[in-house]
Structure 1
Amino acid sequence: MADDTAADTLPADDSSFGDSDDSLFADGYVGDPAVRDEWDNRYAERPRLWSGQPNGALVAGVADLAPGRVLDVGCGEGADAIWLARSGWDVTAVEVSGVALARAAAHAREAGARVRWVHAGLTEAALPPASFDLVSAQYPALLRTPGSTAERVLLDAVAPGGVLLFVHHAGMDEHHSGQDGGFDPADYVWPSTVAALLGDDWRVEVDEERPRVLPEGGAGAHHTHDVVLRARRLR
């Protein structure tokens, strides 16, 4: 999704999930094969799908945070994960596309950045609960699931005192079915659907639409505004 060499990829259920050694590997994608194949095909159409630069909303959104453990949801070709790792964060990055992860791992080696790459869907990744100081979801194509499972996985991954930063393109959740080749916003998770689940154990720090810091190139460069949700888990 957004924006692997075998030696750099961890299995989703690896017992060393919390270790610093990212040299382990098991070739076992966990998730819906149709979703994986769809994104593999999309990435395979171009030598590079995204800009290669970290998302501006992420850079701005974590400027006041001390580095800790971070989960990058839908890491794509790895620009955000690599930037976070080079900024001192301990990074776990989840992605459904093996084509994207191969590029991400190669870029990380070139940059001298260490990242745990997890080839899995978010709801199938067996993430350790309440373990991440930051959960970053930048423009994810995250399908909704019965019982809001996907949204709750995002929230459950955040440690007490940690932050969820969920960013998406403004107006995407208002498109009508069929407007974009059958795209139906009701099928996807948006900042508003996550915000609706926040209880009194969360404090919303940012919930707004703002102009987007536009990257040079990349598939999403035509979007000009973001919706940004930043929420802190209190306990």
Structure 2
Amino acid sequence: MTGDYVSTNKDIWNADAPNWAEFAHRQWTLETPEWGTWNNSEDGINMLPADMAQVDAIELGSGTGYVAYWMLRRGARVTAIDISAEQLATARDLAAQHDADITFIEGNAEETGLPDASFDFVISEYGASIWCKPETWLREAWRLLRPGGRLVFLGNHPLSLICSPLDGSPAQRALHRPYKDMWGADWTEVEYEPTGVCFNLTMAGWMDLFAQIEFAVTRYQEVYAPDHAMGERAAIPADWAKEYPVEQVWHLSKPA
């Protein structure tokens, strides 16, 4: 595993922030939330409670803040934390445009510094869920949740990693990496679309970690590209993602 992944990922997301501004504007204006690489509708995934009135919610690794805004529109009191000052600058600008009262914090989702048991609902979509160490950020989420609170997160499916060539080129219908002892991948020096250091686990690894922390799994979803998808996104061809799960969603709860 690579060394200072926190600084590496922070620098990458600060530098890449301008490339996400147009996407952020689109996401903030959606009537129905869309999730993940292939914009799957909330109607089919249901990551958010329909009514979040009086709910204290936090997004870990919020990027440009559109998920935070979706929660605000459902009635929640929302906090959002991200390590990238440049991503948060976009988020704050859009919040001002939409008159959205969201508390944005620049910081590491692995160690937020926020009080214990401050939130009823925690969420991450391609934020802490892939860019932070699972054993670290999940324990932080547990600490932040009140008894009976919920955590929902979306990230890469393990298959999308083990089917990705070592040079970062698009996923194939072949295995390129060992599944045993999976921890994630360092994409910083690959030939094809280099990014940062991301984390993932085997299915048993996720389940063992949840049990250690004492999270209960209430639902698990494997997410595919929709039938109308075309082309390639994030080094995943649409035809691949229609036949193999490109993403996974975990729904967890903290005992009351």
**TM-score in same-fold range (> 0.5):** yes
The one-letter code of the counterpart of 1:110 is: Q
Compute the displacement of 1:153 (Å): 1.4
Q: Flag the structure with larger Rg.
A: 2
Aligned residue in 2 for 1:180: 168
Bigger mean CA offset, 153-162 vs 194-203: 194-203
**Among 197, 209, 221, the residue aligned to 1:197:** 209
Distance 1:55 1:74, change over 3 A: farther
**Shift in Å, 1:127:** 2.6
The alpha-carbon deviation at position 191 of structure 1 amounts to 8.8
Q: 1:90 to 1:46 in 2, by over 3 A?
A: closer
Say how many residue pairs are matched: 202
Shift of 1:194: 4.4
Q: 1:144 aligned to 2:155?
A: no
1:94 to 74, 81, 84: 81
Using the alignment, how far apart are the partners of 1:191 and 1:139 within structure 2? 17
Change in Cα spacing, 1:121 to 1:127, as seen in structure 2 (3 Å) is: same
Equivalent residue for 1:233?
254
**Greater shift after overlay, 130-139 or 189-198?**
189-198
AA aligned opposite 1:232: S
CA contact (8 A) 1:151 1:189 kept: no
Residue identity in the other structure for 1:116: T
Report the 3-state secondary structure (helix = DSSP H, G, I; strand = E; otherwise coil) of the residue aligned with 1:178: coil
Query: Does structure 1 conserve the Cα–Cα contact (< 8 Å) formed by 2:110 and 2:137?
Result: yes
Letter of the 2:208 counterpart: A
Q: Which residue of 2 aligns with 1:77?
A: 64
Write out per-residue CA displacement over residues 152-191 of structure 1, whole angstroms, 9 at most, x where no aligned residue: 112222221111101113333435572427x972551459
Q: Does the CA-based 8 Å contact 1:142-1:189 persist in structure 2? A: no
Cα distance per residue 1:96-136 (max 9 Å; x no partner): 11111111111111112111111111123213222211110
How far apart, CA to CA, are the structure 1 residues paired with 2:51 and 2:90?
A: 28
Write out aligned runs for 1:100-179 (5 A).
100-140=87-127, 141-144=130-133, 148-170=135-157, 171-175=159-163, 178-179=166-167
SS of the residue corresponding to residue 80 of structure 1 reads helix
Give the TM-score normalised by the residue count of structure 1: 0.70
Q: Structure 1's 185 and 176: CA in aligned 2 closer, same or farther, altered over 3 A?
A: farther
**Under a length normalisation based on structure 2, what TM-score does the superposition of the two structures give?**
0.65
Change (3 A) 1:131 1:185: same
What's the RMSD between the two structures over aligned residues?
A: 3.6
1:234 Cα shift? 1.1
Q: Which runs of 5+ in 2 are unaligned?
A: 170-176, 178-182, 186-197
